[in-house]
Structure 1
């Protein structure tokens, strides 16, 4: 079932709501930014279940709050099994770009490791780039991960998302490469072998957070909002994020080797 996800961080409390569009009423509303005051960092996530599982936008905003950044706001448009071309056809993400002011727009689809999928990711990233730039925002390519039975595809996933970021002169957020750096993939994949655990979502969130706000991952608390994961394990996740961020430039200039 498709989902529309919207999150907002209030000054003290992070508010996260998942909406299921009413298909009977034919009613879908684009994410708006009520309560998002001037001077905030506004981030729109466009993706699929890899974004809405564990509420990545909400985690992103909550970790920013942990670091004392109450100026960070995040919202998302995420539908199950959607690629960027599906978002283009469905229209909610485009409506939000037209109606709201975002500073960053984070995009992801599936692993996009195969040659045809890499081409598809580049093509539709370029399509969205024109709308994102027209709205005054910066595009961000959020590298995800392959299914657990295709972990050999990690290098191709990295290449695909890096090339898409290069094609649009956008930012590259190497979340999937941080998974590789962490090493213990069993702790990051949920039982279905595709979606992230809370630890996997946290790792993606902190990679994105440093890349977009400059909040250094190693300076974050050794806790995950709403989770009892041990501090030592949280520090290991932060070290993996540091490794991935250090070996992947924010704006790729060449195909990764």
Structure 2
């Protein structure tokens, strides 16, 4: 009887489940141009997120001078949504297209492309955000932010503002490397600003921990083409700089400036 009772307990007692493993990294796909890859924003954002408690893996489809309209036309984003299956799709347009530069129809083409890619992202189950670009002139900057916000609202996606924050912060801390050596593309400080603003939008918290980016830090001569690639993949050009460190003190400075400006 005692033996039968033990067997009955064995069959009736539920097995202890193994503790769940860590959740897989959240996949984030960046689609853009040289504003996105100079400084390697995708890898910088992933390193920041991982250092601050959010498991992230980043990939990108980027090419110098590219527009979002070109990405709609070539179908590269739609294919990446199917193959890479990102949880988040980050779109970044060229700096002047929504200001109707270099031609009047650029405004319409850009707005249409943002809507098309937003719809494709939603259909694939991704959260879609429009990451702003920037203009140095105060009037152009304000107009750009207005146009970008309107395009994002029309497409039903979140907007991450950059241009006006860049103007304010670069005025408060002019010694920081806001721009690349060409005076136009992102320098380390601007890449960090992009990453912080995106982190706040996606996770709703301020990143505080410093981090290392173990990935190519692309310059304007990147050798990149509009194809899906991991953000930390080996660079096409062997002379591409490797890695950069952002310390917690610098993040604290940025967060303080952004908080004081209401951004």
How high is the TM-score relative to the length of structure 2? 0.69
Is structure 2 residue 175 aligned with structure 1 residue 190?
Answer: no
**SS at structure 1 position matched to 2:27:** strand
Q: Is the 8 A contact 2:206 2:255 kept in 1?
A: no
Asked whether the equivalents of residues 141 and 163 of structure 2 are also in contact (C-alpha less than 8 Å), the reply is yes
SS at match of 1:183: helix
Contact conserved, 2:170 with 2:178, CA < 8 A, in 1?
no
SS at match of 1:44: strand
2:155 aligns with 168
Whole-Å Cα distance in 1 between the matches of residues 260 and 125 of structure 2?
31
| 2:77 aligned partner | 93
1:42 and 1:228, CA in 2 relative to 1: closer, same or farther beyond 3 A?
closer
Aligned pair partner of 2:209 in 221, 246, 249: 221
1:139 positional shift: 1.3
Contact 1:54/1:201 (8 A) holds in 2: yes
C-alpha distance in structure 2 between counterparts of 1:165 and 1:212, whole Å: 15
Deviation at 1:222, TM superposition (A): 5.1
List runs of 5+ in structure 1 lacking aligned partners. Answer: 1-36, 248-257
* 2:155 corresponds to 1:155: no
Cα distance in 2 between the residues matched to 1:64 and 1:222: 10
Decide whether the 8 Å contact of 2:209 with 2:247 is kept in 1.
Answer: no
Q: Pick closer, same or farther for the CA change 1:157–1:179 going to 2, 3 Å.
A: same
Gaps of 5+ in 2: 1-21, 214-242
Higher relative contact order (CA 8 A, sep 6+): 2
**Any idea what SS the aligned residue of 1:131 has?**
helix
CA apart distance, 1:236: 2.5
In the other structure, the counterpart of 1:143 is: 132
- Alpha carbon RMSD of aligned pairs, Å? 2.5
SS at match of 2:66: coil
Larger radius of gyration: 2
Q: Which residue in 2 is equivalent to 1:41?
A: 26
Structure 1 CA distance for aligned equivalents of residues 189 and 115 of structure 2: 31
The separation in 2 between residues aligned to 1:60 and 1:90, in whole angstroms, is 26
